[in-house]
A and B are shown apart, each in its own frame.
Chain A
Amino acid sequence: MLKINNLHAEVEGNKILNGLNLEIKPGEVHAIMGPNGSGKSTLASVVAGNEEYEVTEGEIIFDKSNILELSADERAQRGIFLSFQYPVEIPGVTVTNFIRTAINQIRKAKGLKDMPANEMLKKIREKAAMLSMDRKFLSRSLNEGFSGGEKKRNEIFQMAMLEPKLAILDETDSGLDIDALRIVADGVNKLRTKDNATLVITHYQRLLDYIVPDVVHVLVDGRIIKTGDKELAKELEVKGYDWLREEAVV
């Protein structure tokens, strides 16, 4: 589904990704772990199409085509979703109107008509219930005054509404207490199918107790230096990242 070959990317002249390779197949959950500043969030942004980052080398193949030339909205329309580490506040646009706009714009790009209002409403209610979201929440301005946990839950709500092929969860566990973490993780697990894939970016192993990965990668200095299964995440939790750095140098 997603194949990243030799990806180099920089922002404002600083090289952040240095020849990253990654392959994710349908139905899989991958986790990327790594210390601060290793390039985890950059990778998420670059795959989602943030123009602030410049890709200097390599390719990103999604569903058999190179998406590097596509804008962020075109990538989203093809089924890439990014759950933000810091979701943006948009005062004046309600959660409902925002998601409605997103869904209908994606449908428009596919040559479909707007989703009928009653169908939309039904879907919104269903997904909000799945994430134990208060109905009032939906008529509030997007992320404005939301707590950290509410923002993350709202990200997963949007993911549930958009039903992406590839969901990238960037530090979705940060700012969540244990109950919220469970609800969010349950939501993500419920959305898993054999045809979609999830890329979990996280600092801590904690989230991976709930969203269990098939593959764990360690990202250091803009490259994946080690790949393993879920046991690797546990090892990292105990030993930190330094031993891997040394190993990589050797």
Chain B
Amino acid sequence: MDLKEKLLSSYLAFEETLDLDNDIHDIRNNAIKYFEDTGFPNKKLEAWKYTSLNSILKEDYSIFPKQSSAIDYKEVKQYFVYDIDSYQIVFIDGIYSSHLSKTTHDKFDACLMSSALNSSKYNKVIQKYFNKIAPKDSLTALNTAFSKEGAYIYIPKNVVAEKPIQILNFSTGNEHALMLQPRNLIVVEDGAQVQIIERHQSLTDNAVFTNSVTEIYAGKNAQADYYKIQSDKISSSLIDNTFISQERDSEVSVHTFSFGGKITRNNLNFYQNGSGINSILKGVTIIEGKQHVDHNTLVHHRQPHCESHQDYKGIFADKATGVFNGKVFVDKIAQKTDAYQSNNNIVIDDGATINTKPQLEIFADDVKCSHGCTIGQLDEEALFYMQSRGIPKKEARALLMYAFANNVLTSVKIPELKTRITNEIADKIGVQLGFDL
């Protein structure tokens, strides 16, 4: 049975366990119907031209883990940016781990999607926001149909969440191969602020396929910073679908750090629904071997006087492949839009490939839109310059790579995270420089 068939038949069993009176039941049924009609995306689709899912779809995944697993904190401590003094929502094989988590309902809610979906207390928010911005898309629909667990974060009006909230998805390898579909909902009401760090981490070499959907709503003057650490094992693949809806004068940034995994696809979509909005998309990709990272971004400027800033850097070694497809839509009404897009890549080895494609569709006539992409090699002259100061070639290359990625790191607002990312980059490159840039 192929994966699609397996998912469709699993859905029938899954559906029976659900409360049929639940309001989202119809949403699920429509979603699975949509997935049934469209199936997994293939390379014939323009948006998937350079990313094939074939190699990951052929595994025989467990759709639901047979048992819940426990992990000792010390086994996974290294994956937490903060170990104390912050809220953490942790899942093990897709199941909430109360043992590793620290949730809250005090000033704001940082808890579970399962409770939000099933408790009447959250019904109003779910009704208003759940699955409202995600457009019709087969993978998002598949996630919607199976939506069960994930993070639910609700920051009420004018509340500032002071410490970052961490969302961690661990997989234990207790299943031969596991498919995960976390579903996160983040609502940041008017004038509220939040910082979120998300990580998917497999603890063994068993195959994991994650199809994640995150919806983020930023109210007027709200501010949200979302950091995605994609540094998973080579046996894991991730499709990350993130949809962000912004109201007037809000600012949302998403930083994506892609160092690990077999196939990583980021579908990152921003929708601007008021004026004075700023949308920030940043990414650093450093991959090797046969790793593949695809950034598919969309910023839809629907109102005047808004900004968007996209800055993606990639370093590709061995036979690694990278894709950047950045779409910017500027509606006719969206005058005075300032949209910037930049994608710079360094190809270390001849076997590495990068496909970069800016796609700007501008219907307004008074806008400032710029884009640029480069593909190059490490600057030989700079390497010689550094070597002539006594820095060996390997370290010189590392320093150049750090420097290249650095301007994306400078906008990381959490110092601990910045140090963490710097260290992950150092690990990836195999050189410790002994300082943060």
- Which residues on A are within 8 Å of B, measured CB to CB? 48-52, 71-73, 75-77, 81-82, 84, 87-88, 90-94, 97-106, 109, 114, 141, 158, 162
State the B residues within 8 Å of A (CB). Answer: 379-382, 384-393, 395-396, 399-400, 402-407, 433-435, 437
Query: What would be 5 A-B contacts, judged by CB atoms less than 8 Å apart?
Result: A73-B387, A76-B387, A84-B385, A102-B390, A105-B392
The distance in angstroms between the C-alpha atoms of A102 and B399, with both chains bound, is 11
B433 cross-chain contacts in A, Cβ below 8 A: 101
The 8 closest A-B pairs by CB, nearest first: A92-B403, A92-B406, A72-B387, A76-B390, A106-B390, A102-B389, A88-B385, A73-B387
Neighbouring A residues of B407 by C-beta, 8 Å:
91-92
Chain A min CB distance to B192 (Å): 33
Given contacts A97-B437, A114-B434, contact A92 B388 (CB under 8 A): no
Chain A residues, Cβ within 8 Å of B384: 50-52, 72
**Chain B residues, CB < 8 A from A162:** 389-390
What CA separation (Å) do A235 and B391 show in the bound complex?
41
Extra contacts besides A71-B387, A103-B390, A109-B392 (12): CB < 8 Å: A50-B384, A73-B388, A73-B391, A73-B392, A88-B381, A88-B385, A92-B437, A93-B403, A98-B386, A101-B399, A141-B403, A158-B389
Question: Is the CB–CB distance between B388 and A76 below 8 Å?
Answer: yes
- Shortest Cβ distance from A114 into B: residue: B434
Which residues in B have their C-beta under 8 angstroms from that of A158?
389
**Closest partner residue, chain B, to A168 (CB atom):** B388
CA of A191 to CA of B437, assembled, Å: 30
> Do residues A90 and B392 form an inter-chain contact, with CB atoms below 8 A?
no
Using Cβ atoms and an 8 Å threshold, which residues of chain B touch A75? 388
- CB neighbours (8 Å) of B388 from chain A are 48-50, 72-73, 75-76, 81-82, 84
Closest to B402 in A: A92
A158 to B388, CA, bound (A): 11
- Whether the Cβ atoms of A77 and B390 lie closer than 8 Å is yes
Question: How far in angstroms is the closest Cβ of chain A from B423?
Answer: 16
List chain B residues, Cβ under 8 A from A81: 388-389
- C-alpha spacing A62/B392, complex, angstroms: 19
The answer to whether A88 and B379 have CB atoms under 8 Å apart is yes
Q: Which residues of A contact B399 (CB under 8 A)?
A: 90, 93, 98, 101
Give the chain B neighbours of A93 by CB distance below 8 A: 399, 402-403, 406, 437
**Least Cβ–Cβ distance between A240 and chain B, in angstroms:** 32
Contact assessment for B403 and A105 in the assembled complex, using a CB-CB cutoff below 8 Å = no
- Chain A residues with Cβ below 8 Å from B379 are 88
* Distance, CA A77 to CA B387, complexed state (A): 9
Contact indicator A76/B382 (Cβ below 8 Å) = no
Give A217 to B399 CA distance when docked, in angstroms: 38
Q: Indicate whether A105 sits within 8 Å of B385 (C-beta atoms), given known contacts A93-B399, A93-B437, A114-B434.
A: no
- Bound state CA distance, A99 and B390, in angstroms? 10
Residues of chain B lying within 8 A (CB to CB) of residue A91: 403, 406-407
* A76-B403 contact given A88-B381, A90-B382, CB 8 Å threshold: no
CA distance A50 to B386 in the complex (A): 11
A99 vs B399: C-alpha distance when bound (angstroms): 12
Q: A104 touching B382 by the CB < 8 A rule?
A: no
When chains A and B are docked, how far (Å) is the Cα of A48 from the Cα of B407? 31
Q: Of all chain A residues, which has the CB nearest B433?
A: A101
Complex formed: what's the CA distance from A105 to B399 in Å? 12
Separation in Å of the B437 CB from the closest CB of chain A?
A: 6
Residue of B nearest to A44 (CB): B388
A26 to B414, CA, bound (A): 52
Provide the bound-state CA to CA distance between A106 and B393, in Å: 13
